[in-house]
């Protein structure tokens, strides 16, 4: 069993949101991150949005008191993408006067707390009624920046899979605890995945590009991309990583 599979299994075995918090914190520490914040406030009718974090209480109090929720540039960027991004890639507004823009103050405050960089992973999906949900997970990095980028170079795909898997487990358990209808349902035609579609998802989950997968399977890039697109459609996923997570959670592939 691979290390990634062990980590996914540890999340799958959790029986409560509190347990996911503990297990996920241990996982991100293995990747060098100091803490995380997960927020699911997708719809205006949800009076009690899910917020799970291991950040220091002092940072949480500062974030709330300074109203960074409305000025955090990473939250704004997360609305427009399905892909993970590091905080340094966000273009901040130029400071032209004595009053700094809220986005600048937010990131400066994070640095004041010793956070040098971070990784934000957006998760957008629809339930079986077509209602759209959005969650976001932010990972804090306090070590050297060279170590951060080296970590992303080798572990970005794995971290994306783990966080998508964690999100699914977190909202499922939260729904149980709040006696709500689960958002994630098993996709009826998922079992129709072909062996080739399972293969390309597995290699995608192991971090292989379409070109690398084509070389491994002795086929063309276009063929690999077609298999991925078919698998995404069958699994109701918006990207190949999400499709991989769905396939793993349903026991269709093992990483």
Residue 241 has pLDDT above 50, yes or no: yes
Q: Please count the other Cβ atoms lying within 10 Å of the Cβ belonging to residue 88.
A: 12
Q: How confident is the model at residue 242 (pLDDT cuts 50, 70, 90)?
A: confident
Residue 187 pLDDT greater than 60, yes or no: no
Average pLDDT, stretch 77-94?
Answer: 90
Listed by start position, the domains of the chain span: 3-177, 190-249
What's the rounded mean pLDDT across residues 202-206? 83
200-to-125, 214, 226, 230, 236 alpha-carbon distances in Å? 22, 9, 10, 11, 16
pLDDT of residue 157: 86
| Helix orientation angle between 221-235 and 210-217, rounded to the nearest 10 degrees | 110
Q: Which residues does residue 50 pair with via DSSP β-bridges, in sequence order?
A: 40
Going by pLDDT thresholds of 50, 70 and 90, the confidence category of residue 46 is low
pLDDT of 43: 54
pTM of the model: 0.81
What pLDDT is attached to residue 44?
Answer: 46
Q: 244: which 2 tokens?
A: 């991989």
Three-state secondary structure along 51-105?
EEECCCHHHHHHHHHCCHHHCCHHHHHHCCCCCCEEHHHCCCCCCCCCCCCHHHH
Whether residue 45 is predicted with pLDDT greater than 60 in this model: the reply is no
Q: What is the CATH number of domain 3-177?
A: 3.30.450.80
CB atoms within 10 A of CB 79: 10
Q: What is the pLDDT of residue 253?
A: 80
What is the mean predicted confidence (pLDDT) over 189-211? 82
pLDDT at 124 over 90: no
Q: Are 253 and 234 in contact (CB under 8 A)?
A: no
How far is residue 80's CA from residue 18's CA, in Å, rounded to a whole number? 29
For the chain, the straight-line distance linking the first and the last C-alpha, in angstroms and rounded, comes to 8
Q: How confident is the model at residue 87 (pLDDT cuts 50, 70, 90)?
A: very high
Domain 190-249 carries which CATH code?
1.10.10.10
3-177 and 190-249 have identical folds: no
């Amino acid at each position: 069993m691979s290390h990634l599979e062990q980590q996914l299994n540890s999340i799958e075995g959790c029986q409560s949101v509190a347990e996911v918090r503990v297990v996920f914190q241990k996982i991100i520490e293995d990747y060098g991150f100091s803490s995380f914040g997960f927020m699911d406030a997708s719809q205006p009718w949800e009076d009690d949005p899910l917020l799970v974090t291991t950040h220091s209480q002092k940072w949480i109090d500062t974030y709330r008191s300074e109203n960074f929720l409305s000025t955090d540039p990473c939250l704004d960027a997360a609305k427009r993408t399905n892909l993970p991004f590091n905080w340094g890639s966000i273009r901040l507004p130029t400071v032209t006067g004595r009053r700094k823009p809220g986005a600048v103050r937010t990131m400066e405050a994070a640095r004041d707390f010793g956070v040098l960089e971070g990784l934000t992973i957006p998760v957008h999906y629809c339930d079986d009624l077509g209602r759209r949900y959005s969650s976001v997970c932010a990972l804090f990095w306090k070590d050297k920046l060279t170590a951060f980028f080296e970590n992303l170079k080798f572990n970005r795909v794995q971290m994306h899979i783990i966080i998508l898997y964690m999100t699914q487990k977190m909202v499922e358990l939260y729904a149980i605890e709040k006696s709500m209808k689960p958002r994630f349902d098993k996709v009826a035609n998922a079992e129709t995945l072909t062996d080739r579609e399972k293969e390309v998802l597995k290699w995608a989950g192991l971090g292989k590009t379409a070109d690398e997968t084509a070389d491994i399977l002795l086929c063309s890039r276009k063929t690999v991309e077609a298999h991925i697109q078919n698998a995404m459609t069958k699994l109701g996923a918006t990207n190949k990583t999400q499709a991989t997570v769905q396939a793993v959670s349903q026991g269709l592939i093992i990483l």
